[in-house]
Structure 1
Amino acid sequence: MTGETRRYESDELQELLASGYVAGALQGPARRRFETLMRSRPALRRRVEAWENRLTALNDTTPAVPPPAHVWRAVQRRIAPASAAPAAATSAGGFWNSLTFWRPFGAAAACLALLVTAYAGYQATRPATPQIAEAPAQVQPSYVAVLEDEANQPVLVVTAFKGPWRLTVEPLRDLTPYQGPAQGKVFQVWAIEKETGATRPLLQVSSGDVLREPLGEDGWNAIKTSESLAVTLEDAGPAPAAPSGPPLFSGLCLNLKGPTEI
């Protein structure tokens, strides 16, 4: 089993990919690669079937509810042509506020975010049913972000857990080509705040190994108030106050627990 194949043995990654496949967020080569994996992994097929059953039940039992106006505005901001944005906003915010960059990542991830959030709300409101005693369930992540490069290829999966607060960063491919010839550089992970677009440093990644780090209260607040996560290449050492250049990877930060998560 190769290192690339072993990455797909992660329960967290399998759950994320299965939900994305059912929601339609996996497209192109990534979707075909996932279908190939399913043919040799019965457990992966079962996860897909479970997500299909969940979303089918949601579709059959939940009445249609018009989305609030602010939801449509948020979606439009992600997928509208860059020409629709005022020129002043682009010049003031620079690359980090440019719709040109965020547009490729927005539509599929927004679809998955709405489905996951709606399902969480459905689960919270459905009548309780008697439960048979089972072994303690594995702790599920509260937030997840799949960070993609400029070619829309997934590079990192970032998951955030509570109880205790902690963060896991799992590379999906070799990071060396993204570093180039530069020496003494690290990949800095940033949280991009929803309301203001402000960047807040989370942690640094220096190798292709899975990284697990505890989060303090400031780090958890940065995650739960973020719209997306991004990664830049920075000098090793203390995190800079702001990114020194455009992001190498980025992706929306999805709340897997629904609106009740704090």
Structure 2
Amino acid sequence: MRMTTERIESLAAEYVLGSLHGRARRRFERWMMESGRVRQEVWYWEQKLGQLSAEVPAVEPPKSTWRAIERRLWPQTADSVERAGSGLRWLWPSWSLVATAAAVVLAVLIVQQPVSAPQLSGAIVQADVSDPLWLVSESGPDRLLKLRSVAASAADTGKDYELWIVPEEGQPLSLG
């Protein structure tokens, strides 16, 4: 390959612009590694073209432009896609609207349903008496135990009532 000034300039500019592809790009990269003059020309074009990219803001072309380009490049594919999609174009927006409304209604119904905690209740009895002394129940959302005296009398002097849980299996547990 002859290293003429014009050839180095044009290849360096194409390399920096990104329009040099495939084997030609790899060959130019090897040439750039071997020659300082080629590297200097690449650096020059990077500096010169790099300033242009900083000054020009990025602009997204309208979708109609892209569709027109696709129609020109692939006329058969673009026509078949437009024909197939035109009949169902209304389906997806309306379906997403219905699904969103259903999700909102379901969320409202779930939030309005009260969460029912299991209610616990029991009685405290004395071994030789059949009537309960105390009724024990759990308050709803607070999950606190409530004790209500039914037939209990005041404890004797020097004595106190004590609350125990007696599970079906295992040792009794004192609650105080």
* Structure 1 or 2: more helix by fraction: 2
* TM bracket, shorter-chain basis: 0.3 to 0.5
TM-score (norm 1): 0.25
Return the structure number with greater strand share.
1
TM-score, length-scaled by structure 2: 0.35
Return the index of the structure with the highest Cα Rg: 2
